[in-house]
Amino acid sequence: MVMLQGAVTALLPQISVRFIENAIGKNFDNASELEAKPAYFRQLRAIGVGMVAAAGTDLLLQSAAEKGDDPDTADESESD
């Protein structure tokens, strides 16, 4: 799920901006008048790329652990 959210944030930051504006609009007046700057879009894209990278790394680590290829667990079993 995080990977999907990260991909959407990286590729379509406008969707994230609209979501944030809606969330802010529930608590503040005139939130619809807020305008995202280009730097904010770049930051959202970077966050999205980071989310995809983190989720992909987690999937790879989980896959390795299920196969028993995890070097951390191999070291622990050798020392016992």
Assigned domain for 62 exists? yes
* Sequence-ordered list of residues with C-beta below 8 angstroms from that of 45, at least 6 positions apart, any chain: 9, 10, 13
Assigned domain for 49 exists? yes
Q: Total domain count for the chain?
A: 1
Assigned domain for 11 exists? yes
Domain span at 11: 2-71
Q: Which amino acid appears at position 62 of this protein?
A: Q
Tens digit of each residue's pLDDT (9 = 90 or more) over 27-40: 888 877 888 899 99
pTM above 0.75, yes or no: no
Interatomic CA distance for residues 65 and 78, integer angstroms? 16
Assigned domain for 60 exists? yes
Tens digit of each residue's pLDDT (9 = 90 or more) over 14-26: 998 888 888 888 8
